[in-house]
Amino acid sequence: MATSAPARSLLPAGDLGGRHIVLGLSGGIACYKAAELCRAMVKAGATVQVVMTDAACQFITPVTMQALSGRPVFSSQWDPREAAGVGNNMAHINLSREADAILVVPASADFLKKLVHGGADDLLSLLCLARPAEAVPLIVAPAMNREMWANPATQRNVAQLKADGVHVLDVGQGDQACGEVGDGRMLEADELLYDLVRFFMPKPLAGQHVLVSAGPTYEAIDPVRGITNLSSGKMGFAIARAAHEAGAEVTLVAGPVALATPRGVRRIDVKSAQNMLMALDIYAHSATVFVSAAAVADWRPAAPSEQKIKKDGSGQVPTLAFTENPDILAGIAASERARSGRLYCVGFAAESHDLLHHAQTKRARKGVPLLVGNIGPATFGQDHNALLLVDEAGVVEFPQADKLSLSRLLVADIAQRLAR
């Protein structure tokens, strides 16, 4: 009999629900991205307390950040207002004590220097210095001109901050406000939000290399026609993201889909089932987990036409001969790496009816320890799904939820199995 996962675990208040973040802004044109990030964090469930340096106030107003955060903005260590409901006028102490993290966005070259040397000449640097380091992590998102970023002094400061336990995020690459192009741009708001969410996620897959296949395959009939299916790839892409959140190195082999690559994930684009098999065979040699979420075509035209097949007016439909595609999952599950226990294989079954029966049969036929079943017509192209996890011990049901929430549950389940 199937058992159900707790429904409340599928319905979080938001990725940052219950988190309190002190959002610090130092001087830089990238302050405009901090406004968008603040709004996104609040939408994700966090409470946000903004602290700005005088230089930051030259680029964006405290009124803007107050409107977006819903809380008064602090910018001076001499501010007479009570902070965190404590009437001792010590904002540098009180603001950090209730925080789950301090996130400095943007962190200018000058502010990075202050952190390295313990500078404390403004409220933001003062509260970073006074924070309880064991309980309140400090995360910084650098932003500066490409030459400033490449300068040995900046790179020494970044290395020292990392050695001191500060979490220094990557910089972006591209056009800069000064008109130059290169490294040093601050990450975009959605990238920063992802990195913050991932920071708080448990890392049960740390040290693992997860290989995920996703999306449909396309089997050519002629240069302009082919056979494919309705898979959107959303489930496989969500699994790749969830595995990366859980600390894994992730490689995603994707059929033809129009989806953005999850942040931090290596993506390999393929077209046909044979293309997918070749790519997966390469990365399976170093992977420790393989999740086969792609909807791979069972058959392909035996002899695709090199030219478009034209109607000739006779009313006769051309005859197509098909040949069977290789069984990718069964082949990888039968490999020496999988049989020796160094590669844990998870299959997917997209069925139209009798899900439990077909999933159990497919698991035995493919020779995998875990098979995840879902109803294809109900999930292809949709943002929600419901899963049935089938192993030799029985069945566990994950009720309908958004695909990312289900992917996080699946990844947590896989991590538990690996730890047994």
Q: At what angle do helices 109-117 and 152-163 cross, to 10 degrees?
A: 50
Rounded to a whole number of angstroms, the CA Rg of the chain reads: 26
Q: Are 257 and 176 in contact (CB under 8 A)?
A: no
Nearest to 348 by CA among 326, 329, 380, 373: 373
Rounded Cα gap, residues 235 and 240, in angstroms: 9
Q: What is the dihedral of CA 137, 140, 141, 142, to 10 degrees?
A: -160
Token code pair at residue 320: 């197509």
The residue among 393, 406, 192, 215 whose CA lies nearest residue 293 is: 215
Coil, helix or strand for 57?
helix
Q: Which helix (H) or strand (E) holds 219?
A: strand 219-222
Query: Catalytic: 57?
Result: no
Contact criterion met (CB below 8 Å) for 184 and 146: yes
Instruction: Kindly list the distances between the CA atom of residue 342 and the CA atoms of 268, 273, 349, 390, 416, in Å, as whole numbers in the listed order.
Output: 22, 25, 23, 21, 16
C-alpha distances in Å from residue 149, one per residue of 145, 192, 334? 6, 18, 49
Return all residues near 220 (Cβ < 8 A) that are at least 6 apart.
226, 272, 301, 304
Cα angle value 261/293/303 (rounded, 5°): 95
Q: Which of 31, 38, 178, 345 is catalytic?
A: 178
Are 182 and 146 in contact by the 8 Å Cβ rule? The answer is: yes
Which residues are within 8 A (CB) of 344 and not within 5 positions of it... i.e. 6 or more apart?
288, 289, 290, 338, 369, 370, 414, 417, 418
Tell me the three-class secondary structure of 264-303, residue by residue. Answer: CCEEEECCCHHHHHHHHHHHHCCCCEEEECCECCCEEECC
DSSP tag of 92:
H
- DSSP class of 90: -
Active site residue ranges: 178
